[in-house]
Chains A and B, each alone.
Chain A
C-alpha cells in the first residue's frame, strides 16, 4: 500500500492568511484526493486531483478558496485561502492504489492529516 506524508502536521494561522499543505506519496499514483474533517465529524471530499488536469471540486468547494496543484504523480498541494475560523479542520490527503486483489481493486489510503486552527 502507498505511504503518504503531509506537511505541516499542524498549524495555527490568523484569519485572512493562506496555508499551503503538501502531500507526498512514496509511489506514483494516478488519483489523489483532498478531504476535510471538521471537529467531531466524518470526512468530506473537497476535490479530486489528477496529474496534468484541473482538479475536480465537490459541491460547496471552489477553486478560489481551495486551489490545488498536482505537478507530478507523487505530489500535490492544497491551499486554504483567506482563512476564517470556520476553516479550522483536519485536512487529509488520500490516494487510490491497487489493493490486495491486484489491478481489479481500488483501495484508498490516507495521510496522517494536517490539523489547522484559525484564530
Chain B
C-alpha cells in the first residue's frame, strides 16, 4: 500500500462539509506560500499559492488564508468531495528564482461518504 501519510495528523470530514487544514510556517522572511495535494502513488500537485502582500486568495472551491503576525497558513476546501482525500502540504519560500521550498509536516484529509 501507499506509505505517504501513514504517520501524519488526520482530518476526517463528511462529504459536502467544508474542510480547514492548518499550517504553521517557520521563516518570518518567507514571502511566498504554496499548498500542495498529494494523492496516493503520485507526486505533490500544486493547488494554490499566496504572496505575503495578501492575506486571502480564492481559487475553485479552495481558499488560502495567510496570517503573517502568527506565521499561520490555512487551506479551506468548500463542499469537500471524496476526490479531495489526500495528504496536503504547505510550503514556504522566498519569492526569488531558485530559492528552496521548505515543506510543512502535512495533513491527511479523509472524506467520509
**Residues of A with Cβ closer than 8 Å to B?**
1, 4, 30-31, 33, 37, 39-45, 48, 50, 58, 90, 92, 94, 96, 99, 105-113
Contacts and interface: CB of A to CB of B under 8 A. Distances in A.
B3 A40 contact: yes
Contacts of B13: none
B46 A42 contact: no
Interface stretch (B14-22, B62-70, B71-79, B98-106): B98-106
Contacts of B93: 106, 108
B45 interface: yes
B46 A1 contact: yes
12 contacts: A1-B46, A33-B101, A39-B4, A39-B7, A40-B6, A42-B105, A42-B106, A44-B103, A58-B100, A90-B3, A108-B46, A112-B41
What band does the interface of chain B fall in when counting residues whose beta carbon is under 8 Å from A? 20 to 34
Contact of B97 (A33, A45, A106): A106
Given A106-B96, A110-B43, A110-B44, A43 B103 contact: yes
Contact of B44 (A1, A39, A43, A48): A43
B49 to A, nearest CB: 7
A107 B96 contact: no
Nearest to B5: A40
Q: Which 5 A-B pairs have the closest CB atoms?
A: A40-B7, A110-B43, A39-B3, A40-B6, A43-B103
Contact of B4 (A40, A96, A108, A109): A40
Contact of B95 (A44, A58, A106, A109): A106
Nearest to B96: A106
Contacts of B36: 110
